[in-house]
Amino acid sequence: MSDLQTSIAALRKSYERAELDEFASHADPLQQFDQWINEAIAAQVPEPSAMTLATVGSDLRPSTRVVLLKGFDARGLVFYTNYDSRKGRELAGNPYAALQFHWVELERVVRIEGVVEKTSAEESDAYYDSRPLDSRIGAWASPQSQVIPGRSVLVANAARYGAQFLLKPPRPPHWGGYRVVPAEWQFWQGRKSRLHDRLRYRREGDAWVRERLAP
């Protein structure tokens, strides 16, 4: 084992910032998430809306990537992407996904699992139109997840679509939103001696059941 590997194995951190109690937490996981993400924003943690998205393809191999949360409500959590990307193709064949937020500075993790559906065309149009012009052109310019010979392809595509659409590019038909409809939430708060707090909310009919899991 190299010295670097030895030093990595020896890394230790004592988690002592906060606690998560099943009786003091919100009965509705959406309210708990709303509280935590707003606390992450207020604490100015880097990229508080960044979340890891896990999908599974037809070969049963999972893949992950980081996407940005762009909205959430009682219907679910929304992100936007290229429908022809790897995640888009995998979701078309297997419309289930897992999300994870990791707010390191707050010693908190939130995990969500659920079914995935596309947002309406109206929702996708509204968000697309709110983006900066360069980002709207970028949605046309990038054949996401496809092999390209070099960056020059992206630059040329951006120039071509910029000249074609000028200041008003329409939303590409291959680009839009997905909504993850939660069937389960988990909230993890780091605690001392690795005795972390871990609460799970699972759906039973129209109600959420809240329970503590061993860390």
- What residues are labeled active site? 194
Backbone phi, psi, residue 168, to 5°: -130, 65
Q: What is the CB neighbour count within 10 angstroms for residue 153?
A: 14
Q: Which amino acid is at 58?
A: S
Backbone phi, psi, residue 176, to 5°: 175, -160
Q: Pairing state of beta strands 76-82 and 71-73?
A: antiparallel
Q: Are 20 and 189 in contact (CB under 8 A)?
A: yes
Spatial CA neighbour of 146 closest among 103, 84, 198 = 84
Burial of 34 (0-12, 13-18, 19+ CB in 10 A): middle
Q: What is the CB neighbour count within 10 angstroms for residue 31?
A: 11
Residue 37 sits at the vertex; the CA angle it makes with 108 and 71, to the nearest 5 degrees, is 135
Structure token pair of residue 30: 């959406």
CA 45 to chain centre: 16
